[in-house]
Every structure is written in structure tokens, then in C-alpha cells.
Amino acid sequence: MALKTRLRHAEGNGELRVVYQPQVNTETEDIVGMEALLRWEHPELGTISPAVFIPLAEETGLIVSIGEWVMRTACRQAREWEERYGLRLRLGVNLSAVQLMEPHLLDTVAKVLTDTGLDPDLLEMEVTESISIKEAPNLLENLHGLHELGCHIAIDDFGTGAASLDYLRRLPADRIKIDQSFVRNIGVDPDDEAIVRATIEMAHRLKRAVVAEGVEIEQHLEFLRAHGCDELQGYLFCRPATPVSFGNLLAERQ
């Protein structure tokens, strides 16, 4: 059976999971947020990476219902942790370009927030630079609408898209996430180090906060700390974790 056909049944068959990766404050290393990351556990094929099935979900339009499922599952989970541990952690949810162009996006988000009771101030939508603002009529409207709902916006994979600076100038973004391809080269490539430093400085001048992704080793941490990056995410702190492991991590840190 084609993967696309299987994907059509993934949600209904209960094969989708959300894992969570912490984001820590650079100075204190306290957990301040988490990113929700989708996984597909197929009974025969095993775990299929979102890098493989998200494009299929986009092509087929399934991303709209899958995306809503992720948002609802993650918001419900965040609310549960908030109640159990008294922690107000920010929740990052990835939005596909297809979702961002969807006319019903704002209604969906509003409904998920009402249904789950999560404070909109804790929800941050991660948006990549994969779509041209010019070619996406609803994009800016939707992003402004998300702000009006009280949510936040992060530009994901910053620096790798076709229009980084145009995005930064025109999108109502609160945060930028430096792509891991730059972070990986800290200590290796002086040009990438220069890009990381310049990105942090530029973001701060524009009053945006900065998260570095793919922080894997102590040397990355030290460099990012020395250059004032606000928050960090990566294997050095934690791999994307199941709800049970993430809950245990929160319990330990209390």
C-alpha cells in the first residue's frame, strides 16, 4: 500500500504521537518552553520521520487535520503539565505553509485554545521561510490574526529559507530560531560563527528573542552564551521526549 494511503488512516488508527523537546534559558538552563514534534509510529513500517511524511501530508491536504490534531494534543498536554507542576512553559507548534494559507486557521486555533483552556500567551507557532509572502495571500492576515488571538510567532529554521530578511522585516514575529546547520558549525567554520553572532545581534536590535537549535555540545553552549543568545534547544539538554519522559524531567526539576 502506498505511504499516502497509509497516512490517510494514521490519525484514525491512533498511529500519530507528539514528542516534546525542551528549550532552556541560556543563563540558568531552566526549562522555559518546549517544541511539539510529530511522530508516526506505523505498526509494520516502524517510526516514520516527519521529514518524510509531512510533504505527503501537504500534497494530499491531510496536513490540515493532522496539524489540528497536533495542536490540540500538544495544547492539552501543556495545560496538563501546567496544572500538575505549576509551570507556565511556552509551547512551540510547527505550522506548515499549507496550514498558514488556510482560511480556517484562526477559527481552528481559537477553538483549540478554548477547548483545552491553554493560555494563548503560552502558544507559539513556528513558521518556516518556505513560502514566499507574495504568493501566499492569507499568510500575513493569518499571522496578524494569531497575534490578535494572543499567540506568539517564531520564524523557524532562520537563515535557510529563500527570504530570511524579507520575512524578518514583514512578519509579526516575536522570536527567531537559528537553524541547526549554523549552530553545528560553531567551532568549525568561522563564517557560520559570524552568521550566528550577526543573527543574534540583528534579532535583538529588532526586539526579537533568539533560540538556537541543534545545540549538541558544550562548545556550542559557550559560544551562544558569550554572544547573548536567549534560549537553547538541542541534544545537549534533551532529545525530543515522550510525554511520560518529559513529565519525569519536569518532576525532577521541581
- Taking CB under 5 A as the criterion, the residue among 58, 68, 124, 157 binding Na ion is 157
- Residue pair 225/27 in contact (Cβ under 8 Å)? The answer is yes
Residue 38, binding choice from Na ion, ligand G, Mn ion, none, Cβ under 5 to 8 Å by partner class: ligand G
Angular region, 234: left φ>0, alpha ψ -120 to 50, beta rest:
left
The nearest distance, CB 86 to ligand G, in angstroms, is 27
Our CB check for ligand G shows the closer of 110 and 236 to be: 236
Site string for Na ion, 13-52 (x = CB under 5 A): ----------------------------------------
Nearer CB in complex with Na ion: 211/250: 211
Residue from 68, 102, 156, 230 touching Mn ion (CB under 5 A): that is 156
Q: Angle 21-23-25 (CA atoms, 0-180°, nearest 5)?
A: 160
| Antiparallel, parallel or unpaired: β 16-25 and 231-232 | antiparallel
Task: Return d(Cα 228, Cα 250) in angstroms, integer.
Answer: 25
CA gap 224, 124 in Å, rounded: 22
- The dihedrals phi and psi of 180, each to the nearest 5 degrees, come to -65, -20
Decide if residue 231 touches Mn ion (CB under 5 A).
Answer: no
Closest distance between ligand G and the C-beta of residue 242, in Å?
13
Q: How many residues bind Na ion (CB under 5 A)?
A: 3
Query: For residues 122 and 90, is the Cβ–Cβ distance under 8 A?
Result: yes
**Grid coordinates belonging to 142:** 493569518
97 binds, among ligand G, Na ion, Mn ion, none (CB under 5 to 8 A by kind): none
Which residues between 117 and 136 bind Mn ion (CB under 5 A)? 126
Secondary structure (DSSP) of 85-123:
H----EEEEEE-HHHHT-TTHHHHHHHHHHHH---GGGE
Do 187 and 216 touch, CB atoms closer than 8 A?
A: no
Report in angstroms how near the CB of residue 157 gets to ligand G at its nearest.
5
What residues between 178 and 217 interact with Na ion by CB under 5 A?
Answer: 213
Q: Which stretch binds Mn ion (CB under 5 A): 3-11, 51-59, 100-108, 149-157?
A: 149-157
Residues that bind ligand G (CB under 6 A): 21, 37-38, 49-51, 54, 67, 70, 94, 96, 126, 156-157, 180, 213-216, 234-235, 240
Residues that bind Mn ion (CB under 5 A): 94, 126, 156
